[in-house]
């Protein structure tokens, strides 16, 4: 028998090649999704709180789609930034609303090389900024909102969206949207349920990005950060309602919820590394406090390790480029 120490785990850490061989988790471009904002204005707009990310226009969007497809990433998630908003979010269901137009442009530009995904929520389209319509007392009316979501789903499917991201956190939203799509004969449309979406401070920069008009908060529909069990319940309900994919959001502060959902879910589980997670790392790096590139890879790998099959991240293109660089450096690049 061997003598002390019996176990020398450091053997497997002795060289880059050895470490690569025993790596339990890897990142791949195909499992990354890039969120893209599209403004109704004529010029792209920089987003101060998400450095390096801008609002695209319908004219600049095709180049982004092509760059994303060239990078081999799995898809883009579109968000519309309309100029005009009203109480019921009319722009969300009009075929000429900015998001529906963007979907058409992206579907065209992608030519099937990546999946076109769209945010299905009313917050960018309502003048009060809530994710649903309001009742007479100013509260978010769950069931009236479901009707708006159903109409929005049809509009997005008609425009060419292949995956709809249900991010509004209304009860029964997956069933309502699935029912409407089925009734319209659109059984092909994939539903990505933002099942465990928490009422998070980390959405701050995003609200800037979409010029949110919200006064107050979303605590009556998004999850309480104190609750993990409830996040798992939401995922279970969405799967029963017909979700094809479920998601946890934000990602980094909710890795326990992600791991729990990933353990039990029979459908793919994704995670959204949100704007605040991105902005924190960029700010810390800009302040010279951390190594930016390593922090990015570590943050995304952590989300992967916790169980995310795919990850929405504003660094998707940069990470895809770095993965390709790494493969080239090792001479292991696979020719497509
Ligand atoms: C709702 C939506 C939000 C995000 C994605 N979809 C904002 C919210 O719920 O307030 C946040 C994404 C991010 O912070 O990067 N349409």
Of the residues 54, 148, 197, 218, only one is catalytic, namely 197
Question: Closest Cα partner for 159 from 132, 124, 120?
Answer: 120
DSSP 8-state code for residue 45: E
pLDDT in tens, 115-147: 999 999 999 999 999 999 999 999 999 999 999
Q: In the annotation, is 233 catalytic?
A: no
Q: What is the dihedral of CA 81, 86, 88, 91, to 10 degrees?
A: -40
pLDDT in tens, 64-100: 999 999 999 999 999 999 999 999 999 999 999 999 9
Say yes or no: CB of residue 275 within 6 Å of ligand 1. Answer: yes
pLDDT on residue 276? 98
Say yes or no: CB of residue 271 within 6 Å of ligand 1. Answer: no
Rounded to an integer, the average pLDDT of 257-272 is 98
Residue nearest to atom 7 of ligand 1 (CA): 203
Say yes or no: CB of residue 121 within 6 Å of ligand 1. Answer: yes
Whether the per-residue pLDDT at 334 is higher than 60: the answer is: no
Rounded to an integer, the average pLDDT of 262-280 is 98
Q: How confident is the model at residue 296 (pLDDT cuts 50, 70, 90)?
A: very high
Specify whether domain 27-330 bears CATH 3.40.50.150: no
Rounded to the nearest angstrom, the distance between the alpha carbon of 156 and the centre of ligand 1 is 18
With the most atoms of ligand 1 within 8 angstroms of its CB, the residue from 203, 213, 215 to mutate is: 203
pLDDT on residue 332? 57
Residue nearest to atom 5 of ligand 1 (CA): 167
Rounded to the nearest angstrom, the distance between the alpha carbon of 203 and the centre of ligand 1 is 6
Q: Quickly tell me which residue has 């990354």 as its tokens.
A: 32
Say yes or no: CB of residue 203 within 6 Å of ligand 1. Answer: yes
Whether the per-residue pLDDT at 336 is higher than 50: the answer is: no
Tell me what percent of the residues of the chain surpass a pLDDT of 70: 97
Of the residues 130, 178, 249, 304, only one is catalytic, namely 249
Q: In the annotation, is 162 catalytic?
A: no
With the most atoms of ligand 1 within 8 angstroms of its CB, the residue from 126, 200, 206, 315 to mutate is: 206
State the DSSP string of 157-219. HHHT-SEEEE-S--TTHHHHHHHHHHHTT-TT-EEEEEEEEB--GGGHHHHHHTT----S--T
With the most atoms of ligand 1 within 8 angstroms of its CB, the residue from 91, 128, 167 to mutate is: 167
Q: Please tell me whether residue 132 adopts helix, strand or coil conformation.
A: coil
Say yes or no: CB of residue 198 within 6 Å of ligand 1. Answer: no
Rounded to the nearest angstrom, the distance between the alpha carbon of 130 and the centre of ligand 1 is 11
Instruction: Give phi and psi for 264, each to the nearest 5.
Output: -110, -15
Say yes or no: CB of residue 273 within 6 Å of ligand 1. Answer: no
Closest atom, ligand 1, to C-alpha of 222: 9
Domains of the chain by residue range: 27-330
Question: Closest Cα partner for 169 from 102, 272, 248?
Answer: 248
Say yes or no: CB of residue 167 within 6 Å of ligand 1. Answer: yes
pLDDT on residue 335? 45
5: cis peptide before it, omega within 30°? yes
Whether the per-residue pLDDT at 200 is higher than 70: the answer is: yes
Q: Please tell me whether residue 302 adopts helix, strand or coil conformation.
A: helix
Rounded to an integer, the average pLDDT of 307-334 is 88
């Amino acid at each position: 028998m061997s003598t002390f120490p019996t176990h020398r785990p450091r053997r497997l850490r002795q060289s880059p090649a050895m470490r690569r061989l025993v790596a339990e988790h890897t990142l791949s471009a195909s499992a990354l999704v890039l969120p893209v904002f599209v403004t109704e204005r004529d010029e792209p707009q920089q987003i101060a709180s998400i450095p390096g990310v801008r609002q695209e226009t319908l004219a600049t969007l095709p180049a982004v789609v092509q760059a994303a497809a060239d990078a081999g990433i799995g898809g883009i998630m579109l968000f519309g930034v309309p100029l005009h908003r009203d109480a019921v979010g009319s722009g969300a269901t009009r075929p000429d609303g900015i998001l529906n137009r963007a979907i058409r442009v992206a579907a065209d530009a992608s030519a099937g090389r990546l999946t076109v995904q769209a945010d299905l929520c009313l917050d960018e389209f309502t003048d009060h900024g809530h994710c649903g319509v309001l009742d007479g007392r100013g509260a978010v009316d769950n069931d009236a909102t479901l009707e708006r979501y159903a109409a929005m789903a049809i509009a997005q499917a008609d425009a060419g969206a292949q995956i709809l991201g249900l991010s509004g956190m209304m009860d029964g939203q997956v069933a309502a949207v699935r029912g409407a799509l089925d009734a319209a004969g659109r059984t092909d449309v994939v539903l990505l349920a933002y099942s465990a979406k928490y009422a998070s401070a980390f959405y701050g920069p995003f609200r800037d990005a979409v010029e949110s008009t919200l006064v107050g908060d979303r605590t009556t529909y998004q999850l309480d950060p104190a609750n993990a069990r409830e996040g798992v319940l939401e995922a279970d309900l969405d799967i029963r309602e017909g979700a094809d994919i479920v998601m946890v959001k934000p990602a980094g502060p909710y890795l326990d919820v992600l791991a729990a959902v990933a353990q039990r879910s029979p459908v793919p589980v994704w995670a959204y590394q949100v704007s605040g997670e991105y902005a924190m790392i960029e700010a810390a790096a800009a302040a010279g406090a951390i190594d930016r590139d390593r922090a990015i890879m570590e943050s995304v790998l952590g989300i992967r390790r916790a169980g995310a099959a795919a990850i929405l991240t504003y660094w998707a293109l940069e990470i895809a480029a770095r993965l390709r660089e790494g493969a080239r450096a090792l001479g292991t690049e696979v020719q497509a």
